[in-house]
Each structure stands twice: as C-alpha cells, then as structure tokens.
Amino acid sequence: MGFYNLQSDSSGTSQYFVYRNNSEQIWKSGEWNEESKTFQSVPEMRLNYIFNYSYISNENESYFTYSLYNSSIISRFVIDFSGRIQQLTWSETTQRWNLFWSQPKLCDVYGICGPFGNCNQQDIYGSCECLPGFAPRSPTDWSLKDSSGGCVRSTPLQCGSEDGFSPIPTSGLPDKPLYSEIDSAEECKSACEATCSCNAYAFDYRCQLWDGDIINFNNITSSRYATTVFNLRLAATDIRSPSPVSSSLVPVSTAAVRKRKVIVWKIVVPVFFLVASVMGVIGYIYLLKRNKANKTKRERSKAVQGVSTGLLKSKATYDDTQNTNMFDDGKTNGESQELQMFGFTCLANATNNFGLTNKLGEGGFGPVYKGKLQNEQQIAVKRLSKNSGQEILSRTLRAPLWDDVLTCSHFSFSNQKKWCA
C-alpha cells in the first residue's frame, strides 16, 4: 500500500474518495448517475463500446464494478504512486498500455511535482517541470515519470545583494505561506531579502513569504490567466523572466518607464522619417510616370483628331448605293478636295470586285488593287487587313462596320466629275 488509497464513502453515499496517508482527502468521484453510468467527476466513463460500468447498492451491500464487452481485451484498473486512478487497455498493435481515463488530473494531486516543482496545467493531463533556476533532483526518476523527488537549485544562493527575484505570473500560489503585516510590494521584497531561508514572496493586498521548500505550485504559464505574481528568489546568474509578465501585476519604477519611453522614441522617430522618405520617392516616381502617360495620350488624341478633322472636311456620305455622288459637296470646279471618300460598292466595281487579276501586290497592311472609275480615272486601292491597326480611322469617322477598311489613291484630281454614279 502506498501513500494513497481509494475508499467508498462510509456515510452511505454512492461516491468514492482518494486519501493521502489515510487521512487527507485529495479527490472525490461525486455520486453515481445510473442513467449515464458515470460518477459526476468522471465524465470519461460515459457509455462506450469497451467497458460496462455498474454500481450495485442494496440493503446488504454497495460496490462499484465493471465488465468488458469483448472478453479478449486486457484491462487494468489501478491507483498509482501519484494517487491517480487509471483505467487502461492493452494494445497488441503498439505493445503498450493505452490510457482510457484518469482521475484526478495530475495537477490536482497534492505535491505531485515535489519540492520546487511546477505542475503545468496547460497540458490536457498536466506535466511536471522544475521552477526556473532549478533542475530535477533525480533525472532518472523524472525520465520514468516519477517527479515526487522534486527539484534542487542550479546555483546556490549567496544570501545577500547577489541574489535577486524572478517574477512568475500565476493563477495559483503555493501552499503554506507566511503572512506579514506589510503594506507595499517593496517592503515585502525587503522582508524576504532579510531572511536567508526565504525563497519567494508575493504581494497582492497582503505580503506572503515562503520559507523552506515550495510545494504544490501549479502555474498556468500564460499571463492572460494570471491573477498575481510569484517572485522566486534566485542567484543573480540564474535570474530570467520565464514568461511574459503583465504590467498590471509587476510594479515598474517611474525611472524605468521614462527610460523605456526614451528608447521607444529613439527607434520610432527615425523609422517614421525613413518610411516617409521612401513613400515620398515612390509617389514622385508615380506622378512622373502618370504625367508622361497622360502627355502621350494627349498627343495621340490630337493626332487622331487632326486626321479626323481633315477627313471630315470632305463632308462625304457613306451610302454604298449606285446613285450616290461621292464628290458633290457644293464646291466649285476650281476647288480641290484634301481627301476624297469613295463608297465600298464604288471601289468594288472599279477593281472588278477585288479580283486577283487586278491585284498589284501586297504590303504589311494588306493587298493593293488597280481599278478604273466610271470616268476612266485609274486608281490604286489598298484593302487593309483586320490586324493592320489602321482601323482606328474608320472608328473615328464612324464608318460602317465593314469587314475590311479601304483607302483609295487616284492619279489625277483635275476632273471633278462624278466618278461613282
């Protein structure tokens, strides 16, 4: 029999207790729930496909039992050296015991991590580790998951000004502190420094001191959940902050705050001006490129507008019927056109419907055909391809949606007759 034992409630309720040294109760199962087949504190026992749990109670007896649905499964129900009740099953595949459920949780067992040990509750099952500046007393036992021996200091204390304190934010302080009628954190710290056996202090609304071993320290390492600060005494060479400490928990001197502000400004101001300078250069380059692009667009627009204006001077119509007069714009015989416009039907008739026999050659923008107007005037017609890029003129002049765009050159403009009747 070890330090812990499991007993049924002698008062007659349907619950069990775990006692340490047969006297100190460290856990209770809660009463049995017949509907869910579980004890209140053991929800992991809920109906499953492996174990069939039962609680028998009558005028003659009361006891808890379980059986296996599959008799080939090997199971163990134990209470180990740490006071934890464990239900395990054997796996032939992995050749190891698998934990089905365990109570109480590791950090609920009193002093499970030994002197100067910390039970870290962030792990779902909890895990033992040494406080900062300490190492396992027996590394061999710790490797076997037996941490009851606790931890020892890595560097002995000098019991003087060479020692310091490492702040640890926590939600639960160790057991058995000594209380002192002190009104400030600084005075509480001085009281601990004045006693060589004082290993830690904490001050919230009162001063608490710890002499000798520190037992049952359960720390949640995240400062978000911390409610106070545990100040652990260490040799100067071992002092470090094990985890972030909330400014609301740790007193900071006015001088330290002022020094931090100076450092922050020395960093922030140069970085601000550097970023501003870089953004200014980028903005200047962007404006230059945008202005250049706008200038190019304006020049192109003026060029197209000039061509469009010249073309529109002809006031020609795009009627492709045989009866359209392409040159009758009211000018006298002595006036000449800057650019003459021809209908598609007119040019098709003049070039024999762009026949191969009339083809003179072909350039980068399309083939060129020879033709003859109704007044016997010889002309050359270039039939632009779709990919020539020169169709912008036709869109500018709101030309009909031809498959091809045509330009026409003639060799004489002296006779102002109707070339296309």
15 bridge partner residues: none
pLDDT of residue 207: 92
Tokens of 331: 């000018």
Tokens of 251: 């007193």
Calpha distance 379→250 (Å, rounded):
99
Single-letter code of the amino acid located at 173:
L
Point out the least confidently predicted range of 163-167, 245-249, 288-292. Answer: 245-249
pLDDT of residue 373: 84
Centre a 10 Å sphere on the Cβ of residue 91 and count the other Cβ atoms it contains.
Answer: 12
CA angle 397, 401, 403 (to 5 degrees): 120
Residue from 130, 108, 122 nearest 214 by CA:
130
Digit-coded pLDDT (tens) for 262-303 = 676 668 777 877 888 888 888 888 888 878 777 776 776 665
pLDDT of residue 200: 92
Digit-coded pLDDT (tens) for 46-102 = 867 888 889 988 888 888 898 898 989 999 998 887 788 889 999 999 999 998 888
pLDDT of residue 168: 87
pLDDT of residue 137: 92
Cβ contacts of 304 within 8 Å, gap of 6 or more: 392, 393, 396
pLDDT of residue 404: 43
Q: Which long-range contacts (CB under 8 A, 24 or more apart) does 38-43 make?
A: 39/15, 40/15, 41/103, 41/104, 42/101, 42/103
Is the pLDDT assigned to residue 8 strictly greater than 60?
A: yes
Point out the least confidently predicted range of 104-108, 139-143, 295-299, 300-304. Answer: 300-304
Residue from 8, 46, 48 nearest 29 by CA:
8
More confident residue, 367 or 314: 367
pLDDT of residue 376: 82
Is the pLDDT assigned to residue 43 strictly greater than 60?
A: yes
pLDDT of residue 23: 80
Q: Is 313 helix (H, G, I), strand (E, B) or coil?
A: coil
| Cis peptide bond upstream of 244, omega within 30 | no
pLDDT of residue 382: 82
Do 419 and 375 contact (CB within 8 A), yes or no?
yes
pLDDT of residue 316: 43
Centre a 10 Å sphere on the Cβ of residue 76 and count the other Cβ atoms it contains.
Answer: 11
- What percent of the chain has a predicted confidence (pLDDT) above 70? 70
Calpha distance 382→284 (Å, rounded):
47
The mean predicted confidence, pLDDT, of the chain is 75
- What percent of the chain has a predicted confidence (pLDDT) above 90? 10
Record the pTM.
0.45
Tokens of 171: 């939600």
Mode of pairing for the β-strands spanning 217-219 and 117-120: parallel
pLDDT of residue 419: 46
User: Mean pLDDT, to the nearest integer, of 397-414?
Assistant: 41
Point out the least confidently predicted range of 102-111, 282-291, 305-314. Answer: 305-314
pLDDT of residue 17: 87
Digit-coded pLDDT (tens) for 16-36 = 888 878 887 778 888 888 888
